[in-house]
Structure 1
């Protein structure tokens, strides 16, 4: 895709659809063998679904703002979370989409290097890319990024300007084709 080509924006803006996805993901979580003790929202995109899932499952929620890319900020919190995991706490990280896998891979690596117990860690997303380099154990919808080049615009992003959404989509051209 050229820098000037318009990305295919796919708005997921209907509250009822979002709520249905969150409820389905919550049922998958609560119906599984592995039960979390904490929900951890990965900022920015995972914070809204994490809040809903936290309420749905009546579990406490923590948040990690990985997206701001403020040096050391998220890493310090992730090291504390790794300590919780090492003490036996089961942690479910929630994000909106597992696209390239970069966020999940980064978090798993940092946690692993900080003493995290891998059996106490899972990831849940609303949309999972089958081509991702990282695994999200729980998800609602699945796409194949080689075939599906849509840029998903979640309800909390839809309030932004179209220019800002297009700029963000263009910032990762390898996802758009």
Structure 2
């Protein structure tokens, strides 16, 4: 299998991306009651965005699929949304759109008010099947095949980074 092109996102670029999102949120009529970090890649951006905006943060661990930390929490978040609370979900990258699609579907099935749900990403793939409401930067996966390595991932062993990049081969081929 071909080695992916790894593009390391520097800490300074990461902070700049968070500040871009914070600025966009301040300019938006949508004022979230909570920022929801999507585990695993959205937890660090969520924490930073929470500090940058003063908005409290919650989290949901979608990546492990452990019901107590994903499905059960999504039911509670859907109830909060239905009660009028505005929720901003954040992740590191909208690549294929599968995470956003699954979260939206679960929230709506559990009665969420779609008007109270928004998504933010550090990097948004314009070819994704799902659109986001806020992004710091955009890529076109038809052109950019790089695997982005965020600061919190850079501490992993290189074989783990490469293995992660190959989970969905069409992203990096």
TM (normalized to structure 1)? 0.95
Moved more, 51-60 or 84-93: 51-60
Q: 1:9 aligns with which of 6, 9, 28?
A: 6
Q: CA deviation at 1:73?
A: 3.5
Segments of 4+ moved more than 2 angstroms? 69-73
SS of aligned partner of 1:128: strand
Question: Which whole-Å deviations, capped at 9, do the CAs of 1:32-90 have from their partners, x for residues lacking one?
Answer: 11111100000000000100111111111100010112246301100100000000000
1:116-164 Cα offsets, whole Å, 9 max, x none, are 0000000000000001011111001101111110000000000001100
Following the alignment from structure 2 to structure 1, what is the Cα–Cα distance between the partners of residues 32 and 69?
24
Alignment match, 1:58: 54
1:133 is the counterpart of 2:129? yes
Q: Structure 2: how far apart are the matches of 1:88 and 1:70?
A: 27
Matched, 1:166 2:155: no
| Consecutive unaligned residues in structure 2, runs of 5 or more | none
**Are residues 1:21 and 2:17 paired?**
yes
Which residue of structure 2 lines up, in the alignment, with residue 68 of structure 1?
64
3-state secondary structure, aligned to 1:21? helix
Instruction: Tell me which of 77, 80, 83 is aligned to 2:79.
Output: 83
Q: What's the CA shift for 1:104?
A: 0.3
- Alpha-carbon separation, structure 2, partners of 1:34 and 1:7: 37
C-alpha spacing 1:133/1:62, structure 2 compared with 1 (3 Å): same
TM-score with structure 2 setting the length: 0.97
Aligned: 1:34 with 2:21:
no
Q: Return the alpha-carbon distance in structure 2 between the equivalents of residues 126 and 166 of structure 1.
A: 21
Matches within 5 A, 1:83-102: 83-102=79-98
**Greater displacement, 120-129 / 18-27:** 18-27
Q: Which moved more, 1:98-107 or 1:62-71?
A: 62-71
How many residues matched? 173
Unaligned runs of 5+ in 1: none
